[in-house]
Chains A and B, each alone.
Chain A
Amino acid sequence: MRFVFVYTREAHPGEKCPAHRTMLDKLQRAREMVSRWEIRRQMLVDDLAGSVHRAYGSLPNMTWVFERRGRVVYRASWTDERSIEWTLEQLRHQDESRRARHRLLPYYMEVAPSKIADRAPFAEGLLGGGGIRALDEFIAALQSHHGPAAAAELERWRSKNVGA
């Protein structure tokens, strides 16, 4: 099993982490990410135009699992550790079953779960990674698209942790 991380455009650019203008910018930000998050997986950087990211759907934090020869066995719009682990366990079980010469019956499933939208860690990440502009732009976007109530929790977090 091989695990890689593909570094894409910045989802929430800000004064600490502006949008990439050159490939050098992008490589430098990728190095910062590896250092800050202590990433041990192989880090791969997409081109400046995001060719691979766009080919796979452009979402900010997807995970895909491929079996040998590149067939997609799992894809998720948000990275979810539990379902990835379940998928990898299925692949291991399949391999063991094949080695034991069991007959396998392929099947298909789709799942559309939800997860808790934990605003505080998200806000900390935005502030720490992107800066106050990244946080403020996200708050403004929430207010504009979903209404004032949607941004209330983040605004309270901002008041408490950043001030006026």
Chain B
Amino acid sequence: MEPYNYEHFTAAHLASDEFDTFRTHAARVGQAGPDGLLTDLTTGEPVELSLLWRTSPLVVEFGSLT
């Protein structure tokens, strides 16, 4: 199985069924989003997702430089 932090982008990434998997297996609208632990880049402190949506609606964009 390819590592999460792959070194090279290949045709296998385009062939992957990850978009279908997202549609059918990731949390659906109406369900609770999974909680998770992240690092705040500014403070270096751990942040739980659930703490962010506890007091207000939350918009989360995922991405990278490339």
Contact A27 B62 (CB under 8 A): no
B-side interface residues, number (CB < 8 Å): 52
B-contacting residues of A (Cβ < 8 Å)?
1-14, 17-21, 27, 29-34, 36, 41-75, 77, 79, 84, 88, 91, 108, 125-126, 129-130, 134, 137-138, 140-142, 144-146
Which residues of B approach A to under 8 Å, CB–CB?
4-11, 13-15, 18-19, 21-23, 25-42, 47, 49-50, 52-66
Q: List 27 A-B contacts (CB under 8 A).
A: A4-B58, A4-B61, A6-B38, A6-B60, A9-B5, A42-B40, A44-B38, A45-B40, A46-B38, A47-B39, A48-B5, A50-B5, A56-B34, A59-B18, A60-B62, A63-B59, A63-B60, A69-B32, A70-B33, A71-B33, A79-B63, A108-B30, A129-B65, A129-B66, A137-B9, A141-B9, A145-B15
